Structure 1
Amino acid sequence: MMYQRLFVLGLLAATVVPAVAVAQTPDRAAPFDFRGRYLISVSDADMLASAYIDGSLGPREGRDALSVIPLGGHVRDLQAYETEASNSVAGPPVVLDTTPDGRYVFVVETFAQRPEGNWEDQTFADLQHGNRIKVFDLADPAQPTLVQTLTIAERPDSVSVNADGSLVAVAINPQGDGTETPLALIPFNNGRLGQPIYPPVSTLPREQRLIHAEWHPTQNVLALVNETAAEVSFVQVAPQSGSFELQPWGNTVKIEKAPYMARFTPDGRHVIVNNLFWGPDVEGTWSEAPRGSVVSIRLAAGTQADGSPRHALVSRAMTGVSPEGLAVSPNGQYVVTTNLERSYLPYGDERITWFASISLFTLEPQTGQLNHVADYPFDGILPEAAAFDASSQYLAVVNYDHFDDRVEGGSIDFWRIAADPLNPQPQLVPTRYSIPVTRGAHSMVLVP
């Protein structure tokens, strides 16, 4: 018995030493230095993610919101400052953008906020098309302030600001006013939007959907993503007698089924596009879609017979299922897609995946070659957007909702890119850091 008591005391003594050592370093933590000035996201509080399948909007959690997260200090101390901003998740996750200096934020309203009433009787069909763009001033990022609301064509799908901040491009859904006016160009000067101009788009046939119009990082050139025809065309935007003329710039590039959005690489040499493989010929249109893809297009890879640039599709890689979100790192070396999988299905649907995922790719900046590193499943619902930090070593991901209904709201979750020093292949590592936002987070940008 005495031997046993001494043995136990010895074990207790052995356990005390590490406990004291931990107590002496309470701030010990893995490296985490998310760089930039702010993260900005929007949340659609009007519907549960499962409304895409069963139509039921479900109980409301607050009002549609713009969330601004000032960066600096440790991520565990960060918080979101919110103000109301009508927006909708029903479209690509590109419904907000900022001026290059980060002072002003633009949010387009694809669908208006749901009507008041008994939520049990409200369905997706009750949502009305939106027709507004709002401007918020971030002079004080802890107090985002609405400074202008402008009526535009019905059902805007995306918004993008050009390199000098003087011109805003908005893609218009053909199920709204987009059959006649697929693109709005809106001047922006001295903190105010001017009157929208709707130039003809010769590269887009009537009734085909311009789902995203994205500005080149240095030139007044737009990449126009045609969801219907699965192609990307390019136009130069030139002032013309108080209006704007769209001049085709090079050839149209055929890509893959159901493209969703485009992102240029920071040097402007390539444009990356995600493809969802949705459509009327897919079982459930989108609910049983196969794995998606991401492609790389090299701009001005050569010259055509008429002297215009020849753009070329140079690389493709497979993603997870329904890769709605797309981000390119500031150093041009990484690409991620955020994949819905089937996380948004109703809980009782046997097809549901109790996970979403992120696909990580390396990108060769000179050639545009994509290399699929891995897919990373995680516990989340409908993650439609991601943003790298300014160092390209950390990633923020929006989480629309949680599988645990006792947890209210959505969140911005943080990941790090890491590697074994003896094996430099990058890996994407989830962290425990997360910032609560209004339920329904779906679009996000970083102000570096």
Structure 2
Amino acid sequence: MKRMRLTLGMALLSASAAIAQKPTIEFNARGILALSDGDMAASAVVDGKLMKEVGVKDALSVYPLPLKLGQEIGSAPLPNSAIGWSRSAAVMSDGRYAYVIETRGQTTDSVKTVKNVATDFPAGSTMYIVDISNMAKPSTRKVTVGKNPLAVDMLGSNMLITSEEAAKELRMFEIGAGGLPTRNVPIALNLQNARATDVTWHPEGEFIAITVEETKEIWLYKAKRNPQGKIATFEAFGTPAKLTGKPGPGSFTPDGSLFIVSDLKDGAAGELVAIQFNTTAADPKTAEHKVVAQTPVAAGVESFAISPDGALIVTANKANSAQPWEGSVGKAGVSLLSLAKDGKATKVADYEIEGIAPESIIFDKSGDNVAVSVFEYFDYGRRDGGVEFFKVNKGGTPSLTKQMAKISAPKGCHTVKLIP
């Protein structure tokens, strides 16, 4: 009998070893940058109760990869805000500098509730320039960039920022030595009772897409250059594409042939909308831009990412995870979709995660792994956030496998960016 017990025990041990994972993080990048908004709980969007922890402030975290136990993690107390579409940070292509816009300011510890998180926080006006060449010890400087900056995007040394500042809704900065702006070009978009809530460079650098949330429009603008060959302004190119719900963040496919944008439906299941921009029209006034595909996705898809080869999309599904705990709270998740050349996307599978309000998701450089931010967890006591990881299984029927290890992050983790 003793021998039988021993044999059974060894069999169980062998079986568990066969299905075990290494508690390591696979992600092809030099590092990951994360932003955490310490000013509020995720459910404050619903009930206005901030549930702040005394002493917990906004933070920037830098995680060098590959991570090792006991490794020093870079961090800085950097004001930032989860209000918006997680477009509040950009990283230079050489990975030396990161740029963070302060969409809204921080509140004091005495502020416990607000009526509306989108409007009742102090106004922001600052961009922080973060030197991350030494990821263990990031250092910061700051410049003023306009009232309530909403989105930032970079291509090479050219940076674009949208804000709520009248007649200067768009600014272009040319970044020079030391990561500092050398040119500041304010551009009026002539918006009436509306905001440019997102801006995205076309990969070729001659066009940009701008989202106007209140009018549910996606505009294409073309760069106009001065005699020295530098961008002097942007002018509308064609009529805008129209959405039916609430436009969120957008992204061009790697080859620039399509623009994909999230269309939220006020709490209901949303869509990913594929737009085909006409960039070759001889007369910009006659250029027509078409919605070529609409793909249903989960509720609360505030962020998605397109794989480097343009074949896959992953979405971060907030769903009902950010509801007040006194009510009925749902599970958040991640979805995997395949993307065809004509813009039609097909859902492959959904994957649950344990955390609350995943608001940002990225592929690594190879497209073999995915990282997703988690605002906080269903934990009583200290309410930290995190970054979770999935492995991408490619082939005829792609899939995701959740990695065993994750990264702990300060409460309110809402944005993750790849450091190349």
TM-score w.r.t. length of structure 1: 0.84
Matched AA of 2:398: P
Distance 2:359 2:101 in 1: 16
Distance 1:155 1:378, change over 3 A: same
Q: Deviations over 1:90-128 (max 9, x none)?
A: 1111100011111110000011111243x5467757620
Distance 2:327 2:45 in 1: 13
Match of 2:333 among 357, 378, 388: 357
1:42-441 equivalences in 2 (<5 Å): 42-60=35-53, 62-72=56-66, 80-117=73-110, 120=112, 124=117, 127-146=121-140, 148-162=141-155, 164-165=156-157, 167-173=158-164, 177=165, 179-190=166-177, 191-194=179-182, 196-201=184-189, 205-240=191-226, 244-278=232-266, 289-300=267-278, 303=281, 310-350=288-328, 352-353=329-330, 355-364=331-340, 366-418=341-393, 424-441=396-413
Deviation at 1:359, TM superposition (A): 2.3
Whether the 8 Å contact between 2:95 and 2:133 is mirrored in structure 1 is: no
Deviation at 1:310, TM superposition (A): 4.2
Whether the 8 Å contact between 2:333 and 2:353 is mirrored in structure 1 is: yes
Which stretch of structure 1 is more off in the superposition, 136-145 or 394-403? 136-145
Distance 1:360 1:331 in 2: 15
In structure 1, list runs of 5 or more residues that go unmatched: 1-7, 279-288
Matched AA of 2:375: Y
- Count the aligned residue pairs: 414
Q: Which has the larger radius of gyration?
A: 1
Distance 1:248 1:35 in 2: 37
Distance 1:303 1:195 in 2: 30
Q: What CA RMSD, in Å, does the superposition of the two structures yield over aligned residues?
A: 2.9
Distance 1:26 1:381, change over 3 A: closer
Whether the 8 Å contact between 1:53 and 1:345 is mirrored in structure 2 is: yes
Which stretch of structure 1 is more off in the superposition, 24-33 or 8-17? 24-33
Whether the 8 Å contact between 1:180 and 1:206 is mirrored in structure 2 is: no
SS in 1 for 2:398: strand
Whether the 8 Å contact between 1:80 and 1:436 is mirrored in structure 2 is: no
Deviation at 1:16, TM superposition (A): 4.8
Deviation at 1:62, TM superposition (A): 2.0
Distance 1:404 1:310 in 2: 50
Whether the 8 Å contact between 1:114 and 1:126 is mirrored in structure 2 is: no
In structure 2, list runs of 5 or more residues that go unmatched: none
Distance 1:429 1:97 in 2: 28
SS in 2 for 1:297: strand
Distance 1:368 1:69 in 2: 34
Which stretch of structure 1 is more off in the superposition, 316-325 or 214-223? 214-223
Distance 1:317 1:151 in 2: 39
Whether the 8 Å contact between 2:29 and 2:418 is mirrored in structure 1 is: yes
Deviation at 1:393, TM superposition (A): 2.0
Whether the 8 Å contact between 1:385 and 1:442 is mirrored in structure 2 is: yes
Distance 2:353 2:410 in 1: 20
Deviation at 1:160, TM superposition (A): 0.7
Distance 1:206 1:79, change over 3 A: farther
TM-score w.r.t. length of structure 2: 0.89
The corresponding residue for 1:5 is none
Deviation at 1:323, TM superposition (A): 0.7
Distance 1:300 1:89 in 2: 33
Deviation at 1:307, TM superposition (A): 9.0
Distance 1:264 1:195 in 2: 26
Distance 1:376 1:106 in 2: 31
Whether the 8 Å contact between 2:25 and 2:389 is mirrored in structure 1 is: no
Distance 1:218 1:389, change over 3 A: same
Distance 2:287 2:70 in 1: 49
Distance 1:345 1:19 in 2: 41
